[in-house]
Amino acid sequence: MEQRIILSKNLNGDLATAISECEHDRLFVLADTTTAQTCWTRIVDYRCLKDAQLITIGATDAHKSLETLSAVWKALGDGGATRHSCLINLGGGMVTDLGGFAASTFKRGIDFINIPTTLLAMVDASVGGKTGINFNGLKNEIGAFCESRFVILDTMFLQTLDEPNIRSGYAEMLKHGLIHDKQMWAKLINFDLQRPNLQQLGHLVADSVEVKERLVAEDPTEQGIRKALNLGHTFGHAFESWALQQGRPILHGYAVAYGLVCELYLSAVKAKFPMDRMRQTISFIKEHYGQLAFGCNDYEMLIQLMRHDKKNTADVINFTLLRNIGDIQINQTASEEEICEALDFYRDGL
């Protein structure tokens, strides 16, 4: 069934409609310890939620794990969930990814609704049906494509989101701008991310969701053009997993921003992406995301992590590159030498 995305101005009404369209016997809400405090409290009094049972899990990506997944399955079972129950995921991408996977596997699949509460989840994670958990030190290693019945997006939740998480989500928006067109990219590069105006940000969110929605509709299971949404992620996921291994976790969007630097470099070298646009994008990233510290001794491990990228076939590392803004080149490869060159470029700066 097709996923419906609602840019809501009336969360209470839109949620009531969504819940009534997902016929159910019991209703559950999944939140993490932070969204249980900051987001659930805003909606707990809605009439449509009066019988909902709250399931709370730990916050941050450290909890996007098999242990948490198993705790959610158990809580659903203990709470009397049946094949006809419905789960509402209230949180960031960690909650929508894990909750979506829990719902898609519990009794072979129950309906779920996403209410994204971070910028990243609004523009990216809650849309398009990639669900899953981290496993064996690798990002989203276990998962399934399964779309929520509804995504109900209300930017009022951003009022309590901290600055690093605003920046983290913004990196995925920048990715959407790069794969879409010059106008969108220019708007994003010129936005004042230091002092974000939430109303202006709301308009950019709407544009961003549209980019994701269009690509997912064209290629729901990532056989081809959906790989565009993975720009920055071959390096990005390797950085994210590596940082976690080092005991210094970084936010997903920061890892994507660092990955964009390396993949724009490869785009410039291998696909003639214009140097001036590469420099402008990289200065924006350096200004707002700082620099990840690693040395050449870490290259081998980073390349090993890239060997697990889900876009790969056999031993070939797969990249999405750009010939220009909006001119997407999927299924590109790079030699180990070229990957090391991109890592050198990242460390040496512009």
Ligand X SMILES: NC(=O)c1ccc[n+]([C@@H]2O[C@H](COP(=O)([O-])OP(=O)(O)OC[C@H]3O[C@@H](n4cnc5c(N)ncnc54)[C@H](O)[C@@H]3O)[C@@H](O)[C@H]2O)c1
Ligand Y SMILES: O=C(O)C(=O)C[C@@H](O)[C@H](O)[C@H](O)COP(=O)(O)O
Q: Which residues bind ligand Y (CB under 6 A)?
A: 124, 128, 130, 139-140, 172, 222, 226, 229-230, 233, 310
Q: Which is nearer to ligand Y, 14 or 124 (CB)?
A: 124
> Which residue, 253, 13, 32, is CA-closest to 152?
13
CB of 74 to ligand Y, least distance (A): 25
Give the DSSP per-residue string, 319-340.
Answer: EEEEEETTEEEEEEE--HHHHH
* Residue closest to ligand Y (Cβ): 140
Out of 72, 151, 161, 322, the residue judged to bind ligand X by CB under 6 A:
161
Q: Which is nearer to ligand X, 155 or 329 (CB)?
A: 155
Q: Enumerate the β-bridge partners of residue 138.
A: 135
Q: Report in angstroms the alpha-carbon separations of 12 from 18, 39, 47, 48.
A: 10, 13, 8, 8
Q: Which is nearer to ligand X, 3 or 118 (CB)?
A: 118
Q: Report in angstroms the alpha-carbon separations of 68 from 96, 105, 130, 248.
A: 13, 14, 18, 21
User: At 208, which amino acid appears?
Assistant: S
Asked whether position 165 contacts ligand X by CB under 6 A, the answer is yes
> Which residue, 240, 234, 294, is CA-closest to 265?
234
- Element housing 305 (H / E): helix 299-306
**Among the candidate windows 80-88, 112-120, 264-272, 339-347, which touches ligand X by CB under 6 A?**
112-120
**Among the candidate windows 72-80, 120-128, 326-334, 335-343, which touches ligand X by CB under 6 A?**
120-128
Q: Which is nearer to ligand Y, 17 or 140 (CB)?
A: 140
What is the C-alpha to C-alpha distance for residues 294 and 242, in angstroms, rounded to an integer?
A: 10
CB of 66 to ligand X, least distance (A): 14
* Phi, psi torsion values for 59, nearest 5 degrees: -95, 160
CB of 230 to ligand Y, least distance (A): 4
Asked whether position 155 contacts ligand X by CB under 6 A, the answer is no
Q: Name the residues that contact ligand X, by CB under 6 A.
A: 32, 34-35, 38-39, 59-61, 64, 91-95, 97, 117-118, 120-121, 124-125, 128, 130, 139-140, 157, 160-161, 165, 168, 172, 252
